[in-house]
Structure 1
Amino acid sequence: MNTFSMAWRLLRGGGRRGMLGSILTLAAVALVTALLLFSVAGNLAFAERADHTSWRLPAKEGLNPEVVGEVPDDPTAIQAVTVDNAGGEEFTHVDLAATGDGKPPIPPGMDHFPKPGEVWASPAMAALIDKLPEERLADRFPGKVTGELGDEALINDADLVVIVGHKPGDVAMTADRYGQNESPTGIVSFESNRVSDTYVAYMGLMAVATVLMAVPLLVFGGAAARLTVARRDQRLASLRLIGATPGQVVKLTVAEAMITAAIGAVAGAAIYFAATPALARIPIDGAGWRVTELMPGPLWVAATLLLVPLLVGLSAVIGLRRVVVSPLGVARRHTPPGLRAIRLLVLVVLMVAFLAMAFGMFGNLGGIGAILLLVLMGGTFLAINLVGPWVVSIIGRITAAMARRPSTLLAGRRLVDDPRSAWRTVAGVALTGFVAGFIALLAPQSIGETDHIGIEITVSDSQRQDVTTVLDKHLPDASVDEATDENEKVEYLTTKAPKGEIAVVDELRTALSAKVPNADVVVSYDEDAEGMRTFADIRTGILVVLSVSLLIAMVSAAISGASAVLDRRQTYALLHLSGTPMKTLNAARRTETLIPLTIMGGGSIATGVLLATPFISAVSLSTSGAVALGATVVLGLAGVLAASALSRPLLRSVMFNAAPRPD
């Protein structure tokens, strides 16, 4: 009989409660797999959206060619890009002209290079052009929309993009751009390998969110392999005592864990794909996602389905070290040796290293520094899980020493005897505290209203009179300050345009596009709108990360609580036979959960807050972070208490059943 056949027989022969333990493990693995696929898909989806911004950013001289590509010596086309605004909506205006020196590249989402006078627009942009009066938007272009851009050119379904064809000598193709706009640049293709600053920031935030979600998932996945560990310990210890070798025990452990994990991983993948249409409705950057964007692809799915069972199998082996070393100790229920304080030292070292790098003590390391920060943050997060059982064992000793009631004494002794099991019950909520503490200080403040519109216009010195003429016509009562910098650029600042006159500003922009097509117009309400969108996206990200963390925490508490009852069923039955009332056992269970939860949860929150302190100067503080933190604490505590209540019927069942196990 091979190892997997034996493991399958052990799984089937475990009886009703043995099957319940396997189902708990399967459910935990399914949740881990589904959320891990969500995390992977999120990173891939942001990367795909970022790729869709690359074609709009031509190569630039003086930058790293490996990052942005090289400016060609013999371009076949000229590209210029302007970030414009109409009706309070920001859109991207791309001007293109063929040089005549060769076949120009075809832009993404089009079937040919635009001819002079052609106007191509995304569906959302075409709808905005139709919605607004011509003098506010349509008059900025040489004619009607002649083509619709395909998905290859768009970030999302709400993306506002317009492409206009020109002749090489047109002013739009020769005048320098200012600010965040792109001056006319020679190109031979639309593959510049540049990414918009917005999506660089989004991908960075997604990387942080991935760490905050992935670490609890890894901890929960490892814990899933050790659910009902006492039942497995005792059964495999019996096999050791009757002659099984350590290698055979390890193989059986891995086979049993991986069979359960493989089934759970497949179930988790099915759950994720079924939930994808709902997940696609999460709005980021003004729109939800295409369902295809959230599909990780066959290789990523296969890698996940392989990785999760391997992780579970490895964790199961680590959890059974004492079976291999000392089966008699397991059979006699010998208390394992105490945990070492070096776990705390590891946490402190990682925290100090993270803070030192975050505060810039090692200088600016660029992308490598960002990766190191993420690694150190993830390591610190994992170290909390490493420290957890050690702290729980100390809490148990103190609780037992100070006990004045039977329930408190039972709780303290239980914490000392098996701190890892007690930690697994509260680990999810404690780690969620780290997430909530980290983001509590980083929740941005919403932008307040202003009673005027500030307009800043940057042009060349030679265009000063054209801008003054347009301003006098469209904003005759606005106060204007002029300043010329060393590059002979003129900045106009108006401060008396009323807040409600967005239409007037749109008409001003349209008039400027006719006389000064390269003018960089920055309006205060544009920045307000961009800030509000950023605020909404960060708030959405915070809610998603906290929701995932709380889901992991609550499911972890429920499954670990039920598993702990199954692990201790013989102990509970013997306590009942010796006269211990169920009320005392329930009180002991609450005590051994709430005390570690309070101490470790508070410590995790403090650690998260401490690691966030280097970044708080870059954002505006608000009460929303404190609200999120308070809600997390309340929901986490409620989830643990609910999980304890759900396992009471199971406790009653095992207390009144002292029959021998079928395995």
Structure 2
Amino acid sequence: MSLNPVLALAPRLQRAGGRDSRTTTVLAVTAFAVSTALTLSVVAALLGFMARAAQPVTDVDREAGGFYVTLAVTATILLVVPLATLGGAAARLGVARRDARLAALRLVGATPREVLGLTLVETALQGLAGAVAGTVLYGALLPVWTQVPFQGRPFTAGELWVGVPAVLLAWLAVPLLAGVSGAVSLRRVVVSPLGVARREARPRLRAARVVVAVLAVGAFMAVSAFGQMLAALLVGALLTCLAVAFLTMNAVGPWLLGVLGRVRLRRARTPEQLLAARRLLDDPRAVWRVVGGLGLASFVAGCLAVVPALTQPGQDPVSAMVTADILTGALLTLAIAFVLAAVSAGIAQAAAVLDRRRELALARLAGVPVELFDRVRRREVLVPLLVVSVGSAAAALVMFFPLFGMAAVTDPSGLLLLLVSLTVGVGLVLAATESSRPLLHRVLADTVVRAD
């Protein structure tokens, strides 16, 4: 099959999915738009600090311009993984229903190349639409960012405009990310379409993920403890190890949720406890897509909990301004991280409802009450949410212990910042997951069980 038939078949498959496919498309485009807008905003701030350091105007620019760039790079690293995670999750929306349809095509003779082409077309178009919408949203946010002062004065819209080349790069990178994520999700369809059609169990997650995570965290702690002898390389080494440790959270998170699922299954005493544990154990990756955003945001909160201990007011005006700006930057980074977590959780939860449409419809026809579905949905999210948020924040504090000592875990203002951040973050994510309740009731109201 050439590319033209693939392009012709893609919209027909989209229409064949009906209302659910349209909902999934809207969710995917929304996720891509949010991730694109916030990515461009973060990059714009970094470029703005770099421009001020290169062309200093005030004493703060001259004396601390390089330090601000370092802080901006750190904030970018802390946010780039949640941003990329949201974009990747968008590409996997509706993966169960899409896998089933494409597996059927494989069984009737479509080649792996044709199936891959259909997926690339569908997800890349969603990514492009989201990138364009995200650019518009980024432009709408510029007046908001210009109200936040740094270095004694707010950025202008001109300073925060990334430029046409960066926008075009985003329009290329987001569809590429969407296509790659969608192609990766098709490995089961390409290798074993019959297994997908028969709804065989996914392979279990391996404990090797934990080894990778421990090595990454250990590398960060080792560099923190002994890197002071290499001051010139310390900042770069720390940031690199931090990025690696941050990335491993996505690897170890689903495995830990699988362990949690086995523990909860053994202790289940009520129907909702049993169903929630069974869902968590059957597909910990799906639950991680709901709570993983908060896990990454909580990790950011744990990293920034040490900020108050490092920002004791200085004796000179420049130090005092740097202190205030560090706190402002930390709070802004946390706010963006938790917004990303809430958006990611809400979209992932809605996608999970659509992916389980057939299972939910059959259970409803068997007589399961609607109230039980709601209780299971809440229990399925709440316990992993608390475990992941607290565990991620604790991991960040442990990582920073060699660098900051007891100040990382005993400073009252830092711990208060962490507690408030986790409380707000958990509340936002729970509210976002509750937004899927009307969709769940709509799905339960449809008693027709579709074949896909």
Q: Is TM-score (shorter-chain normalized) higher than 0.5? A: yes
**Corresponding residue number in structure 2 for 1:299:** 165
| TM-score (normalizing by structure 2) | 0.94
SS in 1 for 2:151: coil
Q: Structure 1 residues 578, 202: closer, same or farther in 2, change over 3 A?
A: same
Q: Is this contact kept in 1: 2:307–2:327, CA < 8 A?
A: no
Q: Is this contact kept in 2: 1:442–1:615, CA < 8 A?
A: no
Q: How far apart, CA to CA, are the structure 2 residues paired with 1:576 and 1:662? A: 16
Aligned-residue offset at 1:365:
6.1
* 1:521-556 deviations in Å (ceiling 9; x for gaps): xxxxx8243332122101110111001001001111
Aligned-residue offset at 1:625:
2.3
Aligned-residue offset at 1:614:
3.5
Q: Does 1:597 align with 2:363?
A: no
Q: How far apart, CA to CA, are the structure 1 residues paired with 2:310 and 2:111? A: 62
SS in 2 for 1:293: coil
**Corresponding residue number in structure 2 for 1:624:** 413
Aligned-residue offset at 1:616:
2.5
Alignment match of 2:48 (pick from 45, 49, 61): 45
Larger displacement relative to structure 2 (581-590 or 262-271):
581-590
What amino acid maps onto 2:53 in structure 1?
A: A
Q: Is this contact kept in 2: 1:425–1:561, CA < 8 A?
A: yes
Aligned-residue offset at 1:618:
12
Considering only aligned residues, what root-mean-square deviation do their CA atoms show, in Å? Answer: 2.2
Q: How far apart, CA to CA, are the structure 2 residues paired with 1:261 and 1:40? A: 19
Aligned-residue offset at 1:429:
0.8
Q: Is this contact kept in 1: 2:307–2:326, CA < 8 A?
A: no
Q: Structure 1 residues 197, 610: closer, same or farther in 2, change over 3 A?
A: farther
Q: Is this contact kept in 2: 1:435–1:546, CA < 8 A?
A: yes
The aligned runs of 1:223-238 (5 Å cut-off) are 223-238=89-104
The aligned runs of 1:539-554 (5 Å cut-off) are 539-554=327-342
Aligned-residue offset at 1:221:
1.2
Q: Is this contact kept in 1: 2:221–2:402, CA < 8 A?
A: yes
Q: How far apart, CA to CA, are the structure 1 residues paired with 2:231 and 2:183? A: 39
What amino acid maps onto 2:32 in structure 1?
A: V
SS in 2 for 1:291: coil
Q: Is this contact kept in 2: 1:30–1:268, CA < 8 A?
A: yes
**Corresponding residue number in structure 2 for 1:398:** 263
**Corresponding residue number in structure 1 for 2:321:** 533
* 1:350-392 deviations in Å (ceiling 9; x for gaps): 111111111125941624x432321211111111111111111
* 1:296-325 deviations in Å (ceiling 9; x for gaps): 111111112211111111111111211111
Q: How far apart, CA to CA, are the structure 1 residues paired with 2:429 and 2:34? A: 18
SS in 2 for 1:338: coil
**Corresponding residue number in structure 2 for 1:26:** 29
Q: How far apart, CA to CA, are the structure 1 residues paired with 2:134 and 2:308? A: 31
The aligned runs of 1:257-268 (5 Å cut-off) are 257-268=123-134
Percent identical residues:
41
SS in 1 for 2:315: helix
* 1:435-473 deviations in Å (ceiling 9; x for gaps): 01111122247657xxxxxxxxxxxxxxxxxxxxxxxxx
* 1:37-66 deviations in Å (ceiling 9; x for gaps): 01111111111001112xxxxxxxxxxxxx
* 1:480-521 deviations in Å (ceiling 9; x for gaps): xxxxxxxxxxxxxxxxxxxxxxxxxxxxxxxxxxxxxxxxxx
Alignment match of 2:19 (pick from 13, 16, 19): 16
* 1:226-249 deviations in Å (ceiling 9; x for gaps): 111111111111111111111111
Q: How far apart, CA to CA, are the structure 1 residues paired with 2:152 and 2:122? A: 47
Structure with the higher strand share, 1 or 2: 1
Q: Is this contact kept in 1: 2:311–2:326, CA < 8 A?
A: no
Aligned-residue offset at 1:619:
8.5
* 1:169-219 deviations in Å (ceiling 9; x for gaps): xxxxxxxxxxxxxxxxxxxxxxxxxx8440111011111100111111111
Aligned-residue offset at 1:643:
2.2
Q: Is this contact kept in 2: 1:447–1:528, CA < 8 A?
A: no
What amino acid maps onto 1:240 in structure 2?
A: R
SS in 1 for 2:153: coil
Q: How far apart, CA to CA, are the structure 2 residues paired with 1:302 and 1:262? A: 11
Q: Is this contact kept in 2: 1:442–1:616, CA < 8 A?
A: no
Q: Is this contact kept in 1: 2:361–2:448, CA < 8 A?
A: no
Q: Is this contact kept in 2: 1:246–1:324, CA < 8 A?
A: yes
**Corresponding residue number in structure 2 for 1:273:** 139
Q: Is this contact kept in 2: 1:447–1:531, CA < 8 A?
A: no
Q: Structure 1 residues 400, 585: closer, same or farther in 2, change over 3 A?
A: same
Q: How far apart, CA to CA, are the structure 1 residues paired with 2:5 and 2:321? A: 59
Aligned-residue offset at 1:587:
1.5
SS in 2 for 1:359: helix
Count of matched residue positions in the alignment of Structure 1 and Structure 2: 448
Q: Structure 1 residues 24, 530: closer, same or farther in 2, change over 3 A?
A: same
Alignment match of 1:435 (pick from 281, 300, 314): 300
Q: How far apart, CA to CA, are the structure 1 residues paired with 2:333 and 2:225? A: 25
Q: How far apart, CA to CA, are the structure 2 residues paired with 1:44 and 1:427? A: 29
Alignment match of 2:278 (pick from 413, 416, 434): 413
Structure with the higher helix share, 1 or 2: 2
The aligned runs of 1:161-172 (5 Å cut-off) are none
Q: How far apart, CA to CA, are the structure 1 residues paired with 2:386 and 2:374? A: 18
**Corresponding residue number in structure 1 for 2:424:** 635
Q: How far apart, CA to CA, are the structure 1 residues paired with 2:301 and 2:450? A: 43
The aligned runs of 1:305-320 (5 Å cut-off) are 305-320=171-186
SS in 2 for 1:527: coil
Q: Is this contact kept in 2: 1:322–1:330, CA < 8 A?
A: yes
Q: How far apart, CA to CA, are the structure 1 residues paired with 2:43 and 2:111? A: 40
Runs of at least 5 residues in structure 1 that lack an aligned partner in the other structure = 54-153, 162-194, 449-525
Q: How far apart, CA to CA, are the structure 2 residues paired with 1:445 and 1:50? A: 22
Q: How far apart, CA to CA, are the structure 2 residues paired with 1:443 and 1:12? A: 53
Q: How far apart, CA to CA, are the structure 1 residues paired with 2:269 and 2:451? A: 38
Q: Is this contact kept in 2: 1:41–1:294, CA < 8 A?
A: yes
**Corresponding residue number in structure 2 for 1:585:** 373
Q: Is this contact kept in 2: 1:445–1:622, CA < 8 A?
A: no
Q: Structure 1 residues 419, 619: closer, same or farther in 2, change over 3 A?
A: closer
Q: Is this contact kept in 1: 2:361–2:449, CA < 8 A?
A: no
Q: Does 1:284 align with 2:150?
A: yes
Runs of at least 5 residues in structure 2 that lack an aligned partner in the other structure = none
- Structure with bigger gyration radius: 1
Aligned-residue offset at 1:250:
1.2
SS in 1 for 2:55: helix
Q: Is this contact kept in 1: 2:124–2:175, CA < 8 A?
A: yes
